[in-house]
Structure 1
Amino acid sequence: MDIDIQSFDIPRIVSVYPDRFGIRWWTKAWFNNRNEGEASVEIEREQAVRFLQDSIEKDKWLEEYFPRQMEVYHHAIEQTKEQLLNQINII
């Protein structure tokens, strides 16, 4: 049985932004609607432009710059999927 992961996905928001002069760029992410978000990570300007032009998929970006958080994300999705499959098998 195939389960639609979108139905129980964990919200992930990511942004890129420059400093006041547009010289240094950062990326920041928020997982599971948390207010404070993750610590910003400095990135190359070219990477920021590629992301803003939708040349890089959001989850690939998050895997690159927030790998620990994405590991937790994947584990939570897998755990939820297993719980759903167990519930289906019980019925």
Structure 2
Amino acid sequence: NYQVALAKACLGQMFIADAPISIVVTAQYERTTSKYGERGPRYVHIEVGHVGQNICLETVSLGLATVTTGAFWDEEVSKILHLPDRHKPLYVLPVGYPE
């Protein structure tokens, strides 16, 4: 079960295991740093913030709920999801029904 493993990798935040789905936003820093150099990570983080905000807004518009989660063990999340080395997890957004 990916959800339980993911929740444990998110520092034991077990509410993640209760969500029907979790969206994990990743980044490939090299795509941006190759063009923008040392400013690349800043631009990646700005764009990931936009992505997270859009997921939150769309979730609410569908009558669902989410929360942005940045507290996790990067290596564990990467391993659970079998991410290629170039993909770095930045956000975990569990999506479910509001209580």
Q: Same fold (TM over 0.5)?
A: no
TM-score (norm 1): 0.29
**Larger helix proportion of the pair:** 2
Q: TM-score by structure 2 length?
A: 0.27
Q: Which structure exhibits the higher relative contact order, with contacts defined as CA atoms closer than 8 Å and separated by 6 or more residues?
A: 2
